[in-house]
Every structure is written in C-alpha cells, then in structure tokens.
A and B are shown apart, each in its own frame.
Chain A
Amino acid sequence: MKYLLYGIGLLALAGPVWAVPCVTDDMGREVCLPAPAERIVALSPGVTELLYAAGAGDRLVGAVSFSDYPPEAADLPRVGSYDRLDLEALLALSPDLVVAWAGGNPEQQLERLPELGAPVFFSDAADFDAIASSLERLAALAGSEAEGHEAAEHLRGEVAELRARHADSAPVDVFYQIWESPLMTINGEHWISQTLALCGGVNLFAEQSSLVPRIGVEAVLARDPEAIITGGMGKADSTWLEAWRDFPDMTAVRRDNLFFVNPDLVQRATPRLLEGTRQICHHLEVVRERR
C-alpha cells in the first residue's frame, strides 16, 4: 500500500493534474487514477475488444493470448494467457491500468498487482447494459469519454430497436450448442440466453444450474427444439449441425432449422454481440416463416 501511494504520488508530480478519473468496476470497487491511463494492459480477449470499442485502443500496450479482434490487437505484446498470466512481462510494460476479467483471471496473481503499482479494473460484462456501461467507464479511465459514450449510446439504441422489433414475435424453442464433444449448452443466466430472449427465442435449458452445463443428446431429443443454433469449431465450420441430421424426427431437423453463427460474435460479451444478435434474430424469423 505504501508503494501504491508512493507511485501515485510520483505520477501526480510527473504530469499536470486534470480531472482525476474515478469509476466503479464490476466488483463494486472504486478505481481512481491520478491521470487518464496511458499504458493499459487487457487480460482477456473480450476486454481487449471492449477497450478498442471504447476508443482506448491506442493506449493498449499489452494483451493475452487469443486476443485477435480488432486485427491490430494481434500485434500487441503478450503477457501470458488469460488463466496463467506472466506477471513479469506484465510489469515490464509498466502499465498504469490493468483491466482484468473477473472470474476468468487467477485471483492470486491479480491480488499482487496493486501493491506492485498497477491499479486494476475488474470487468465482468455479461449483458448489453453492462457492455454499454463498461464502454463508458473504461473510456473515462482512458480519457476517451466522447468515443466511449458514443459507442455505448449507439449500442443501447440498436439493442432497444431490436428489442422493440421482436417484442411481440412468437416464441421459438431454441437449443443453443456451445460445444459438441462434450455436448454443451448455456443456462438462463448466460448472455447468449438473454440474446435469444431478445429475439423471441426460448432457451430450452434455461433452468440448468451451471452456466455452461454439459448435457446428453437424449435430453435434446426429449425437449424437441424448433431450432438449433451453434457456433462450431472455427469461424465457418458447421459440421456440428450435420450430426443432428441423424435424428430426422426432430422438429428442428425436419424443418431444416439448423443455424450457424460465428462464435466470436456471440461467445464474447463485447459490442460485436450486437451483430451476433442480429444474425440470431434473423434466423429465428426464418424459423417462424417455416411454420
């Protein structure tokens, strides 16, 4: 703690003191910086995307493995993978802000960061509201309030429009497949489930207790979804869907309601989720037409 104060003191002496950015992170903790962050490290691919969308991309100096969007993120120096951070590499970048993934990064490693002089913002965005508010708060810390606010407002507007358009759409029973072997889906608390709801889709496994439950094929057959939506191994790999054609009696198969969405667009809680949601809404419209 002494070092932190000392560090903040030094930083305060080093530059002119403008408005001191202070925000609350997703863990409910106050994060204050002496000046807008100049050197930011993002500890998950999703957080990296959020920071770019918040207009803080030019201040990012480090990211973790698999941070591949936007394309320029691929060139950022790496500080390990999200679940095993390379603290030395991280500190060597002398960051003045670390944006961590609450629940994703190892806590023991993060605990040491503040005492080593790097303030941490914990991000845990799990729905559109949180994504929008994250954009604003991250922008505030990075001194790009205008861009962040604009991105957040754009997102809110588009989501409201989608929600309004599908508010009265007939419900569609959907099985969303996250992974094939083992077969995995999502429960009602996952943002994908909320995305489905926005388009009038009903997640057939919403009541499950774990966020990403592993289920059996039998349970899917028994619940007879009207549509099956899946990501797939790669950006354009729909082989998982073909496997369902072994069960021609399923409503989804009979009506050919097997849809593929790019997993990057839905399986990260970032502004790109809007694009994924549009695709899902479009697919569900097709489902209704085939009734």
Chain B
Amino acid sequence: MTSLEAHGLIVDVPGRASGRPLDLRMAPGERWGVLGPNGAGKTTLLHTLAGLRVPRGGEVHLEGRALSRWRRREVARRLGVVFQERHDEFPASVLETALIGRHPYLSPWQREGETDIARAREALRHLELEHLEDRLVSSLSGGERQRVSLATVLTQAPCWWLVDEPTNHLDLHHQVATMALLEQQARQGCGVVMCLHDLNLAARWCSHLLLLYPDGEACWGAARDMLVPEALERLYNQALTTVDVDGAPVFVPVR
C-alpha cells in the first residue's frame, strides 16, 4: 500500500475555477508525467501532492492515510521533492547540501555520521558531482545546481519522487542521465511524478501522463493512451506533427 492517491483533489490556483477534481492512484514503479501549458498549475499540483500546499478540496493519501494526518518528518522519509526554485542566499558546499537529505532520519542531537556521508557521496557520484563536493553551491552553473538538488533527494532516498522540471538547465547528456536515474528509481519500486515541459521527454520516459488544462480540466491515464495528437494540440493550443523515431512518437510544433 505505498501508493500515492488523490481523492477529489482540487489544487488551489488563485483566481481560477476549481475545474475537474482529480481522482487518481499512482502506484510504485509508475513514472507519471504532468503536462500542461504555463500557468496550468503543474507546480501547484506537485506541491499539493507533497503536502506542502493545502488543496482547495479533496485529499492526498499516502499509503492509504491522508497526508494531513502524517507527521511531516515521516512524510519526508517517504516522499522527496526536487524544486524548481532554490534558495542559495547562504553559503553551503555541495556535500553539505546533499547531506541535508539525511535530515528526516536524524534526531535533533545527532550529527551526520559516516554512513550518512557515504550515502551523500554515493548520490553525488551518481550525478557526476563528486569532484565538486567542496565547492559552494552558489558558484555552480544552473545545470550543476539542478544535479545537486537531485543528489539531495537521492540521499534522502524516498519511495516517492516528486520532481518539478527534472531536466531544467541540463545539457542533453545529463537530461538523459537524469531521466534514466528516475527510471531506475521506478524500477527499484519507487513512484515518480514529474512536471515536464518537453512533450518528447514525457513520451519517451513516462509510463503515465496527467494533462492539465488552463481552465482546470484534466485527464489522465497510461502514456500510450494519452499521447493523442489532437488532445495534445488542444492542451498547448498549438498544431503538431508526429514522426516516429526508435518506435516512439516525436512531436514537432508546426510553424
């Protein structure tokens, strides 16, 4: 029962009608992509699923229990979030930043031990950051920071990954590496929910899709059922042509 479920969920996007309530069940091993135009509420939905925002209506259930009834610390052991925005006002090294992923597991008086540090280093190595561990995060490039955020959640080792734009700022190689990392997590029994801008990444890497329309309407299901050009054209209000590459559809906007 490690599923993440939305029961009649209406996310609270200020100034927008409630639209269609979400009733869906996301199971471990699934990779959910949330698609939608700017302002459709993708990030708000992700934060609501993580319990960081109060929904306008409905509930999010984790392992069959409403998120609001969980202790925050217990949630943090099961559910990790990669944010789009980061706060780097204060100096912090890459290793320190990855290490905060251990916070939910440590008691107030406890310091990060050898195993915690080993986990953080392992996560950094996974994201090809091991040579940067002493650098200040604020001195890194956007793509490197994005990988530090992923490494932090990898250190946190949750069973649910909620990722806002996983490929933000990443070059092609690291885009693929990151999606492969998320796929690997799913294979190991984690659930993954990611907000995506790139239709083709979604087509390539997601098992399920949730389409969010600007007016609050939504539809969801298995990726192959959702990747209908007409639905996608309506979603983005943009004409598309479809080509087949490697047996997967690739969507290209029409000029």
Find out whether A and B make contact in their complex, taking CB atoms under 8 A apart as touching.
no
**Which residues on B are within 8 Å of A, measured CB to CB?**
none
**Which residues on A are within 8 Å of B, measured CB to CB?**
none
